[in-house]
């Protein structure tokens, strides 16, 4: 019977680059299909057995990178050697302290082996997690989270505003006492609606994720992730 062996070492320190996964030369780590490798908040769940062959590493940094002129969250992961041919789920977990002004409508950004950042829209509706399922083989040299294309980086938060129901199949209500400008974007960052009404009919839209931007008379902006079901 053939046996698979791997060496996995996790180092914790008190520095900004707090967690490192090291795979020694000549060793490998294999993640079985459907199993999850959690690297300090970065979850990899491949849809087929996936091996990371040494010598390689994955490092978590509490730093900010700039992508297309916008700063990322203060959390990113880099690999010693680009991870090639990955298919399956990636979940990026983050906290309030790591948001760096980026809103909960953030996207996943993955750097390929040519050092190009590629944006992938969040596929879940929850705050504090950004998820994407890769069906085509993907290169991953670095991973972070950043501003959704077409939306503001900074979310200053209008007090007492809320939207409901969310998810919705038809009507969405915006609850706020003062006048608002409401803009709705699709996942490509394209504007599809602009109104001052606090009752929005989304019944004609395709099912999926949208981004609602509310702006008050002081130009204070709050972004919401809206799910059409």
Question: Does residue 93 carry a pLDDT above 50?
Answer: yes
177 and 142 part of one domain: no
22 and 115 part of one domain: yes
173 and 139 part of one domain: no
Question: Does residue 13 carry a pLDDT above 70?
Answer: no
84 and 14 part of one domain: yes
pLDDT band at 150 (very low <50, low <70, confident <90, very high): low
pLDDT band at 19 (very low <50, low <70, confident <90, very high): low
pTM of the model: 0.64
Asked if 168 contacts 229 with a C-beta cutoff of 8 angstroms, the reply is yes
Question: Does residue 55 carry a pLDDT above 80?
Answer: yes
Judge whether 151 lies within some domain: no
Task: CATH number of the domain at 182, please.
Answer: 2.60.40.10
Give the pLDDT mean for 160-178: 89
- pLDDT for the residue numbered 217: 87
Asked if 50 contacts 56 with a C-beta cutoff of 8 angstroms, the reply is no
91 and 171 part of one domain: no
Give the pLDDT mean for 35-41: 93
- pLDDT for the residue numbered 3: 37
Counting the structural domains of the chain, the total is 2
Asked if 134 contacts 90 with a C-beta cutoff of 8 angstroms, the reply is yes
Judge whether 4 lies within some domain: no
Domain range for residue 134?
Answer: 9-146
Contacts of 44 (CB under 8 A, 6+ apart): 31, 36, 37, 50, 86, 88, 89, 90
Q: What is the DSSP string of the chain?
A: --------EEEE-SSSS-EEEEE-TT-EEEEPTT--EEETTEEEEESS-EEEESSEEEEEE----EETTEE--S-EEEEEEEEEEEEEEEEEE--GGG-TT--TT-EEEEE-TTS-EEEE---S--TTEEEEEEEEEEEEEEEEEEPPTTS-S-----TT-EEESSSBSSEEEEE-SS--EEEEE-TTS-EEEEES-SEEE-TTSPSEEEEEEEE-TT--EEEEEEEE-
pLDDT band at 111 (very low <50, low <70, confident <90, very high): very high
171 and 142 part of one domain: no
pLDDT band at 223 (very low <50, low <70, confident <90, very high): confident
Domain boundary among 83, 117, 146: 146
- pLDDT for the residue numbered 153: 39
Average pLDDT of the chain is 85
Asked if 43 contacts 31 with a C-beta cutoff of 8 angstroms, the reply is no
Sequence length of the chain is 229
107 and 58 part of one domain: yes
Segment among 38-47, 123-132, 146-155, 191-200 with least mean pLDDT:
146-155
Separation of alpha carbons 201 and 130, rounded Å = 27
φ and ψ at 139, to 5 degrees?
Answer: -95, 135
Give the pLDDT mean for 181-186: 92
Share of the chain above pLDDT 70, in %: 87
Give the pLDDT mean for 176-198: 90
Contacts of 2 (CB under 8 A, 6+ apart): none
């Amino acid at each position: 019977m053939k046996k698979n062996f791997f060496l996995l070492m996790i180092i914790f320190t008190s520095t900004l680059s707090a967690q490192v996964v090291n795979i020694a030369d000549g060793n490998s780590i294999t993640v079985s299909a459907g199993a999850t490798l959690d690297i300090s908040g970065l979850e990899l769940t491949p849809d087929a057995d996936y091996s990371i062959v040494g010598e390689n590493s994955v490092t978590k940094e509490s730093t900010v990178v700039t992508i297309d002129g916008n700063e990322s969250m203060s959390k990113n992961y880099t690999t010693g050697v680009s991870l090639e041919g990955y298919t399956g789920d990636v979940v990026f977990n983050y906290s309030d302290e790591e948001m760096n002004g980026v809103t909960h409508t953030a996207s996943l950004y993955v750097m390929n082996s040519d050092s190009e950042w590629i944006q992938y829209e969040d596929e879940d509706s929850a705050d504090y997690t950004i998820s994407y399922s890769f069906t085509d083989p993907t290169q991953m040299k670095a991973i972070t989270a950043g501003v959704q294309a077409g939306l503001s980086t900074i979310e200053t938060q209008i007090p007492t505003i809320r939207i409901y129901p969310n998810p919705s199949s038809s009507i969405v209500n915006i609850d706020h006492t003062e006048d608002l400008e409401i803009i709705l974007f699709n996942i490509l960052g394209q504007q599809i609606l602009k109104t001052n009404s606090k009752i929005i009919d989304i019944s004609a839209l395709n099912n999926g994720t949208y981004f609602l931007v509310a702006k008050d008379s002081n130009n204070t902006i709050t972004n919401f992730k809206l799910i059409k079901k």
